[in-house]
Amino acid sequence: MRRATCAKWGASAVAVALVTAGCGGGSGASRSGVVSASWGDPQNPLEPANTNEVQGGKVLEMLFRGLKRYNPKTGAAEDVIADRIATADSQNFTVTLKDGWTFSNGEKVTAKSFVDAWNYGALLTNKQKNASFFQYIDGFAQVHPDRGSPRAKTLSGLVVKDEKTFTVRLNQKFSSWPDTLGYSAFMPLPQSFFRDHDAWIAKPVGNGPYTVDSYEKGSVLRMRKWGNYPGDDPARNGGIDLRVYTDSNTAYTDLQAGNLDLVDDVPAAQLKNVKADLGGRYINQPAGIIQTLAFPMYDKRWGRPGAEKVRRGLSMAIDRDQITREIFQRTRTPATDWTSPVLGADGGYKAGLCGAACEFNPAKAKQLIKEGGGLPGGRITLAYNADTGSHKDWIDAICNSINKSLGEDQACVGDPIGTFADFRNKITARRMSGPFRAGWQMDYPLIQNFLQPLYYTNASSNDGKFSNASFDKLVNEANAETDAAKAVSTFQDAEKVLAAQMPAIPLWYQNGSGGYSDRISNVALNPFSVPVYNEIKVN
Amino acid sequence: MGRYVIRRLLQMIPVFIGSTFLIFFMVYALGDPVAAMFGDRAPDPATAARIRRDLYLDEPLWKQYLHYMGQIFQGNFGTAFNGQSVTELMASAFPVTLRLTLVAIAIEMVVGIVLGVLSGLRRGRDIDTTVLVLTLVVVSIPTFVSGYLLQLVFGVQWAWAAPSVAPEAPLNELLLPGLVLALVSLAYVTRLTRTSIAENARADYVRTALAKGLPRHRVITRHLLRNSLIPVVTFIGTDIGALMGGAIVTERIFNIHGVGYQLYQGILRQNSPTVVGFVTILVLVFLLANLLVDLLYAVLDPRIRYA
């Protein structure tokens, strides 16, 4: 009797194991002509106005085309759906659309597709994280008040004239505003988005070169070429499979094993071997990202007059060249201004604008800090978040460099903060007591985007709460300037205020780095360090 | 037996409540998750306030907890920040991790017990010494070292196995990660079995069975092994829970989208519904596995009864 029971137990345990084990399986879609690429799980649902990070952004770039698009090589804003964006006064714009554009479900792209999408993005109750991108449009304060409920459902500055035309009234002069329209928050949306939001989120429908084939959240997003795509930049491959990796090391291993075609984030630990592993299939090129150390200007010790000498001195105490070489294996370039080389000279990048303050000079550094009253309390801490991005290495290197320059062992120490959320909380609550890690990835390739959101009084990403009347005045003048070259040089004048005041120390420009298999070719990164997926060819 | 089971099941209620509260409290202590949702940009206060209200983050902690528990009893584990319901995440993650765990347990049981019996019966000989040294080596290597090493050797250099697991997590791709996950426990199972077998091999009932003229394999499997398995079963039972929760490292190395992955993402993004929900289920798995172990004792040794 008992023996029989025992056997039954054993047998059923094995059966359970087999059934559970066997219920997986099932092969993926066919791989011919399809590129598989590494991906990170996007933080938010894939809505244009709700996507504010790179991983979701790269999908939107494949699924959508807007009024403008940033040229993947030069970064220049070029008309796509916009036929003309006309203005007489840099404040009132008339947008005319091209014919022949449809969404992949057959619906026409009209002026209403844009106006409805922008109204949706701006309305407070929709809780879109990019709502602030619509702040320059008239009526934003009504649909998105700082407190309380919205007093209007739609932006008063947006008016649909006919199927192909709409007008935009801004609440201030902003001559380069049309150039911001390539950002994903400004993409058009089909009516199906508003009719059945949940279904749309599960399987987004756009008007770009790809359509969504299937989306298993958290693991894989399969996109296929849209055959009827009306634009002149159709997909040159059969599709893209974006596979979520939690660890960039595993993605790199998969690339080596021939399991994956493209990684757009080579792990720091592999940078030493990547050239030997991949040869010419390794990409390392400038991206619109700058890393800085920001000072808490709200802290009396850093905001007082005279402290700018200490800040400039600290900047001079950092050996950028050595750190970018030793720690980053030249995937960063020492910064000499507050923008990025991807802007180009015409776009506002000016090498050396920071001047002597960004050159390594230990003797001068020591002298300046002394003149400025010395380090507050005799020492500084550099705050960073310790959970992602291996920031510890370079923070320690900077401290090391500062300590050596000043000839004091304990002048600078790193201050790790457990999580990114906590780090951000401390910054927004103005609880930083010393310089902290800051970085900026551009939203659009304009010099304005590197200066105004970061250093204008009370701007959205002005983490150090820097406030300077002449900087603000120059930025306002530059925005109102209709001549592009004049606007850029005025922005550079504003940048010179930063060089004198040093509210944030420019450290280095970050490069995009990627690697690919010999199965694919024609791989390049755009100025946002995102691969230009639709141009990739499968050999 | 029935009353014993009911009593054990009732004991789970306070454990369940206590553990969820502790986890809830700890995730909450990590701070406000809303600021991080906006990346390097300062959150726009109006939108952030709306999101906080939606997620009940603007209420005091005890109210949040009561609201959360109330929802759990309606089968609603809340929503992750990317808009997916946590139950949906669980439905995709738990089967994958369960499969991985079962592969690991199977490897651990078969290999561990066989090695343990072999070395236990030949105590002090070469095979015993070899097994002891090998298990010592295995125990002392951390999982992430053995994981990356085996992945590189088998996955890249010899190309015997895929270095990462496809989203569907088919069984054949889970063998390598299953082995990595099982390694440390495997060593413990081997050593436990060895000691237990070596002890019981000199017991009177074994001598009696042999004297009766029973075949040696029958004495070993029916008499010796059955009595020696009690400590091993205890270990494997508690190990099920530990493996499921501890798969974080292995799942990360082999890119398996299971419980470990979801927990890791949840902690990184301070997504309390995800973390609390998953850990709650893990606590239940642990409790049930322990109950199963206790019931198995009676099967293995009839002298143990639960009246």
Backbone dihedral angles phi then psi of residue A534, each to the nearest 5 degrees? -70, -15
Q: What is the dihedral of CA A149, A182, A57, A336, to 10 degrees?
A: -110
Position B307 scores a pLDDT of: 56
**Residues of chain A numbered 295-334 and touching chain B (CB < 8 Å):** none
Q: How far is B83 from chain A (nearest CA, A)?
A: 6
Position A32 scores a pLDDT of: 77
- Per-residue pLDDT at A22 exceeds 70: no
B270 close contact with A: CB closer than 8 A: yes
B82 close contact with A: CB closer than 8 A: yes
A418 close contact with B: CB closer than 8 A: yes
CATH class of A46-201: alpha beta
Average pLDDT, chain A: 90
From the CB of residue B127, how many other CB atoms can be counted at a distance below 10 Å?
A: 14
What confidence tens digit (pLDDT) does each residue in A162-213 have? Answer: 999 999 999 988 888 999 999 999 999 999 999 999 999 999 999 999 999 9
Strand-pair category, A220-225 with A165-169: unpaired
CB A67 within 8 A of CB A180: no
d(CA B230, CA B225): 9
Q: Please name the member of B163, B168, B268 whose beta carbon is closest to the beta carbon of A259.
A: B163
* Interface mutation vs chain B, best among A132, A250, A278, most B CBs within 10 Å: A250
Q: Please name the member of A2, A22, A124 whose beta carbon is closest to the beta carbon of B171.
A: A22
Residue-range domain boundaries for chain A = 46-201, 286-510
Tokens (6 digits) for A37? 């690429």
CB A324 within 8 A of CB A333: yes
Q: Which of the four pLDDT bands, split at 50, 70 and 90, describes residue B268?
A: confident
Q: What is the torsional sign of CA B199, B202, B203, B205?
A: positive
B287 closest CA partner among B3, B24, B10, B2 = B10
Is B36 close to A421, i.e. CB distance below 8 A? yes
* Stretch A35-50: mean pLDDT: 92
* Stretch B127-139: mean pLDDT: 93
Position A28 scores a pLDDT of: 39
What confidence tens digit (pLDDT) does each residue in A85-132 have? Answer: 999 998 999 999 999 999 999 999 999 999 999 999 999 999 999 998
Q: Which of the four pLDDT bands, split at 50, 70 and 90, describes residue A31?
A: low
A273 close contact with B: CB closer than 8 A: no
Tokens (6 digits) for A140? 């934003």
Position A412 scores a pLDDT of: 95
- Per-residue pLDDT at B29 exceeds 80: no
Calculate what percentage of chain A has a pLDDT beyond 70: 94
What confidence tens digit (pLDDT) does each residue in A428-479 have? Answer: 889 999 999 998 999 889 999 999 999 999 888 899 999 999 999 999 999 9
What ipTM score was computed for the predicted complex, to two decimals?
0.84
* Stretch A522-536: mean pLDDT: 94
B163 close contact with A: CB closer than 8 A: yes
d(CA A508, CA A526): 19
CB B82 within 8 A of CB A217: yes
d(CA B301, CA B228): 10
Position B106 scores a pLDDT of: 94
Tokens (6 digits) for A450? 């590197």
CB A81 within 8 A of CB A164: no
A463 close contact with B: CB closer than 8 A: yes
Calculate what percentage of chain A has a pLDDT beyond 90: 76
- Per-residue pLDDT at B5 exceeds 90: no
**Residues of chain B numbered 8-27 and touching chain A (CB < 8 Å):** none
A17 close contact with B: CB closer than 8 A: yes
CB B196 within 8 A of CB B232: yes
CATH of the domain spanning B92-300 = 1.10.3720.10
- Per-residue pLDDT at A2 exceeds 50: no
Query: Among the ranges A26-40, A440-454, B50-64, which has the highest mean pLDDT value?
Result: A440-454
Average pLDDT, chain B: 88
Residue-range domain boundaries for chain B = 92-300
d(CA A370, CA A347): 38
Q: How far is B142 from chain A (nearest CA, A)?
A: 18
A362 close contact with B: CB closer than 8 A: no
From the CB of residue A169, how many other CB atoms can be counted at a distance below 10 Å?
A: 16
Q: What is the 3-state secondary structure (H, E, C) of A157-225?
A: CEEEEECCEEEEEECCCCCCHHHHHHCHHHCCCCHHHHHCHHHHHHCCCCCCCEEEEEEECCCEEEEEE
Tokens (6 digits) for B289? 């596995």
A336 closest CA partner among A287, A290, A288 = A290
Domain range A286-510, CATH architecture: Roll (3.10)
B142 close contact with A: CB closer than 8 A: no
d(CA A489, CA A470): 15
Q: How far is A463 from chain B (nearest CA, A)?
A: 7
Is A461 close to B41, i.e. CB distance below 8 A? yes
More confident residue, B227 or A340: A340
Position B254 scores a pLDDT of: 92
